Amino acid sequence: MKVSRGDVEHIMKLAYLDLKGEEKEKMIHHFSRILEYFAKLQELDTANVEPLSHVIEESTPLRDDEVGEGLSQEDVLGMAPDKEGGYIKVPRIV
Amino acid sequence: MELKPVIGLEIHCQLLTKTKLFCSCPTDYVGREPNTIVCPVCLGLPGSLPVLNKEALKLALRAALALNCTILKKTRFHRKNYFYPDLPKAYQISQYDIPLAVNGYLVIDGKRIRIRRVHMEEDAGKLVHPTKTGRLEGAEYSLVDFNRCGVPLIEIVTEPDISSPEEARNFVMELRSLVQHLGVSDGNMEEGSLRCDANISISVDGKFGTKTEIKNMNSFKAIERALAYEINRHMEVILSGGEVIQETRHWDDSKGITTSLRGKEEAHDYRYFPEPDLLPLFISDEMVSEISKTMPELPWDRRNRWKMDFGLGDYEVFVLSSSKVLGDFFDACVREIGKPKEVSNWIQVELLRIVDDLRLKIEDCYFAIPYLKEVLELLEKGVINNQVAKAVFEESIRERRAPIDIVKSKGLEQVSDEEALKDAVKRVLEENEDAVKSYLSGKDKAFNFLLGQVMKVTKGKANPAVVRKVLEEELKALS
């Protein structure tokens, strides 16, 4: 299955990635290989197989609704590249 | 050509848990310093793992059951991927192909509005835009507060069964009342703990049209206005031979219009996949039956009880059930006082007005229950008349003073003594010769004027029935 340049550019946009021309070509190749592999898998007859999303068939653990310790504001803001008055400052969105 | 509006709603409710959906950070973010109730889990720091809040699950199930949904025995969470600064993980943990519950309904004015699904998800953070309007457009930069990040939500999605803006508003009102009665959410639209988006299209001769999604409707009134506006806009496009564009639109409440959000929310491609950090979720029959057994009284059961046990009418029960706190207050009053019809009337006519004037909250008015009880007793015993009773009730709440004290200290007791009232009546008749003449010449309206005058000179304290009797006698004597 051939992946187009447009497909790669769409994925780039969704992933917030900026790739150069030759990198795009490389991605077209990689993506195609991945899809070829899945195409191979799809040859299998799975009509009577339940879809599997998790390998452990157990219910996810539950937590009691009790408040615990979090991070300090100082620690949170310390991880951010920029801040202003307790907030994290981010570049223009649109 | 037959044009019909087709409306479906998506409603998000914040759940009343102490902690977030997947971590133990508190949820009371309103009024908090920014970025002070966050942790590695809700910030999505590497190596952290989400663990589902049991209480959030219970509340979500309670809502789903009250909405007559089928609970799915095996459900799971998905990652909804998108980049936006209010979402530190760059994905929201939500539910996709297998939600918690499906196929329910809510009855609005006798009509079933079907519920397509109810699912759990986490809230995003809050953005502050340093522009005059607070809107994103034109902001040089934005500020992020992650306190709300990870707060548990349920999303309730209806089928497109709603056919008018009014019906949409009634649906959201009833849903809000429901989640309040269930203790699932406080349902506060102004603070955003209940948010409503709408999908709207116009069917032409029974064929579905292109839909638009409307966001930012922050009150019941806004829902009605925004939908009415959007229906008109669609109709105009269709009738002029154009085509409605599928897009998301923003309701601007101050301008009363919707504007396109294209560009900002282009080409949604969320690349959902099962959340690998959580196992699937199995809902046991025991859990469901436990929740069914502990279901509180639902708004429609409450309304029926008021109708059957108290003989209240449709409109009365509609007003009293419009919010849970009001219904609770009414029930508390009836427990204390009895007389449900009178109590209902006094709450709706007097108390709601007083509360509004004095800027009180109903939930802070329990102190007024003994006052209402006393006012009703004074009224029943004929100690005060109706007009005085209303004024005394208001004053008792304002001054936090027992009605009997007010009546005594101001000498407001009703005067029912015929002899005492005769003097007042005679004086009024002497001072209002014209009115007397016009009454005697057959103009009955003058009688009420004279009665009003007697009430005035007795400072409203006279027993109106006795005044009426004395006045009739005295006028008869003149004719």
Least CB–CB distance from B18: residue in A61, A65, A84: A65
Which chain A residues in 31-50 lie under 8 Å from chain B, judged by CB atoms?
A: none
State which residue of chain A sits closest to B42, comparing Cα positions.
A70
Compute the nearest-CA separation of A25 from chain B (Å): 23
- Select the more confidently predicted residue: B322 or B302: B302
Percent with pLDDT over 90 in chain B: 76
pLDDT surpasses 70 at B265: no
Q: Are A60 and B281 spatial neighbours (Cβ–Cβ below 8 Å)?
A: yes
User: What is the band of B54 on the pLDDT scale with cuts at 50, 70, 90?
Assistant: very high
Residue B56 and residue B260: Cα distance in Å, rounded? Answer: 35
User: What is the band of B413 on the pLDDT scale with cuts at 50, 70, 90?
Assistant: confident
Contact call for B19 and A88, based on CB within 8 A: no
Which chain B residues touch A68 with a CB distance below 8 Å?
A: 19, 23-25, 39
3-state SS of chain B: helix, strand, coil percent to 5?
40, 20, 40
Q: Over range B117-143, report the average pLDDT.
A: 90
pLDDT surpasses 50 at B176: yes
pTM for the model stands at: 0.84
Query: A75 in contact with B at a CB cutoff of 8 Å?
Result: no
Contact call for B51 and A93, based on CB within 8 A: no
Specify which residues A71 forms β-bridges with: B38
In sequence order, what E strands does B233-320 have? 248-252, 257-260, 273-274, 281-282
Interface test with B, best of A9, A55, A67 (most B CBs within 10 A): A67
Contact call for B36 and A73, based on CB within 8 A: yes
**Bridge-based pairing state of the strands B126-128 and B281-282:** unpaired
pLDDT surpasses 70 at B449: yes
State which residue of chain A sits closest to B37, comparing Cα positions.
A70
Burial of B21 (0-12, 13-18, 19+ CB in 10 A): buried
Interface test with B, best of A9, A62, A83 (most B CBs within 10 A): A62
Q: What is the CATH number of domain A5-42?
A: 1.10.20
Which chain B residues touch A84 with a CB distance below 8 Å?
A: 143
Q: Over range A58-85, report the average pLDDT.
A: 96
Contact call for B141 and A91, based on CB within 8 A: yes
Q: Where are the domains of chain A?
A: 5-42
Query: A60 in contact with B at a CB cutoff of 8 Å?
Result: yes
In sequence order, what E strands does B232-291 have? 248-252, 257-260, 273-274, 281-282
Contact call for B52 and A10, based on CB within 8 A: no
Contact call for B141 and A14, based on CB within 8 A: no
Residue A50 and residue A42: Cα distance in Å, rounded? Answer: 15
Q: What pLDDT does residue B300 have?
A: 94
Read off φ and ψ for residue B14, nearest 5 degrees. Answer: -80, 135
- Select the more confidently predicted residue: B338 or B434: B338
State which residue of chain A sits closest to B44, comparing Cα positions.
A76
Please report, for residues A62, B201, B209, B225, B454, the alpha-carbon distance to residue B232 in angstroms, rounded to integers and kept in the order given.
48, 11, 14, 11, 56
pLDDT surpasses 50 at A70: yes
Q: Are B28 and B119 spatial neighbours (Cβ–Cβ below 8 Å)?
A: no
Domains and CATH numbers, chain B: 3-289 (no CATH), 299-410 (no CATH), 418-478 (1.10.10.410)
Q: Over range B197-212, report the average pLDDT.
A: 94
Give every CB contact of residue B183 below 8 A, 6+ residues apart in sequence: B16, B59, B62, B296
Which chain A residues touch B51 with a CB distance below 8 Å?
A: 60-63
Least CB–CB distance from A66: residue in B19, B83, B142: B19
ipTM: 0.89
Q: Over range B47-72, report the average pLDDT.
A: 98
CB pairs under 8 A between A and B: 132
Q: What pLDDT does residue B391 have?
A: 93
Contact call for B33 and A10, based on CB within 8 A: no
Read off φ and ψ for residue B337, nearest 5 degrees. Answer: -110, -30
Burial of B454 (0-12, 13-18, 19+ CB in 10 A): buried
Tokens of B236: 């105009």
- Give pLDDT tens digits for B211-221: 999 999 999 99
Give every CB contact of residue B451 below 8 A, 6+ residues apart in sequence: B464, B467, B468, B471
Q: What pLDDT does residue B264 have?
A: 47
Contact call for B278 and A90, based on CB within 8 A: no
Residue B249 and residue B260: Cα distance in Å, rounded? Answer: 4
- Give pLDDT tens digits for A19-60: 998 999 999 999 999 999 999 999 999 999 988 888 888 999
State which residue of chain A sits closest to B129, comparing Cα positions.
A92
- Give pLDDT tens digits for B346-391: 999 999 999 999 999 999 999 999 999 999 999 998 889 888 899 9
